[in-house]
């Protein structure tokens, strides 16, 4: 089963609803700076959307992690915060800039909201959609 997003940056209006929804689900409040989906505004050019691509990635983060904190569960790349030492290796190798260290120096990234991503539900333009075959 495919797990991931289809991303159409041409449809993105840079509204940040996806980032707001992500942060609300993860922290209980809208705090764009901790969202696991990042919109890099570039108006009048098309924006960049930085989020884990799951199926569209060779997953260099898994190999780069010296503590084996990163693994795949049900097609979703996950980070075990108990094993993460904050070494930054995964951040450096992620081709989609989808991993960052939080305030506790623990690597975090999109976990696909358990198969029902809040960002996709909130994207009214269709810039973010579930990949065909995703949950």
Please choose, from the candidates 82, 79, 74, the residue with its C-alpha nearest in 3D space to the C-alpha of residue 116: 74
The whole-number pLDDT of residue 2 equals: 65
Residue 135 in domain: no
The whole-number pLDDT of residue 43 equals: 86
What's the N-to-C CA distance of the chain in angstroms?
8
- Regarding pTM above 0.85, the answer is yes
CATH classification of the domain holding 109: 3.30.70.20
- pLDDT in 10s for each residue of the chain, 135 residues: 568 899 999 999 999 999 999 999 999 999 999 999 999 998 889 999 999 988 888 999 999 999 999 999 988 999 999 999 999 999 999 999 999 999 999 999 999 998 899 999 999 999 999 987 665
Residue 92 in domain: yes
Total number of domains constituting the chain: 1
The whole-number pLDDT of residue 55 equals: 83
The whole-number pLDDT of residue 3 equals: 81
What is the SS3 string spanning 94-118? Answer: CCCCCCEECCCCCEECCCHHHHCCH
Residues 6+ apart with CB under 8 A from 90: 61, 64, 65, 70, 79, 99, 107
- Reading the block at residue 51, the tokens are 């989020």
Full domain range(s) for residue 118: 5-130
- How many angstroms separate the Cα of 6 from the Cα of each of 45, 62, 111? 20, 22, 16
Residue 105 in domain: yes
């Amino acid at each position: 089963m495919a797990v991931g997003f289809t991303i159409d940056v041409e449809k993105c209006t840079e509204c940040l609803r996806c980032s707001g929804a992500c942060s609300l689900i993860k922290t209980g409040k809208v705090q764009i700076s901790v969202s696991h989906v990042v919109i890099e505004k570039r108006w009048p050019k098309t924006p960049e959307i930085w989020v884990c691509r799951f199926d569209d990635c060779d997953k260099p983060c898994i190999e780069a992690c010296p503590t084996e904190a990163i693994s795949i569960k049900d097609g979703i790349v996950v980070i075990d915060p108990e094993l993460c030492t904050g070494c930054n290796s995964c951040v450096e190798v992620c081709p989609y800039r989808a991993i960052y260290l939080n305030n506790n120096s623990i690597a975090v990234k999109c976990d696909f909201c358990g198969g029902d991503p809040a960002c996709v539900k909130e994207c009214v333009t269709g810039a973010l959609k579930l990949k065909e075959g995703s949950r």
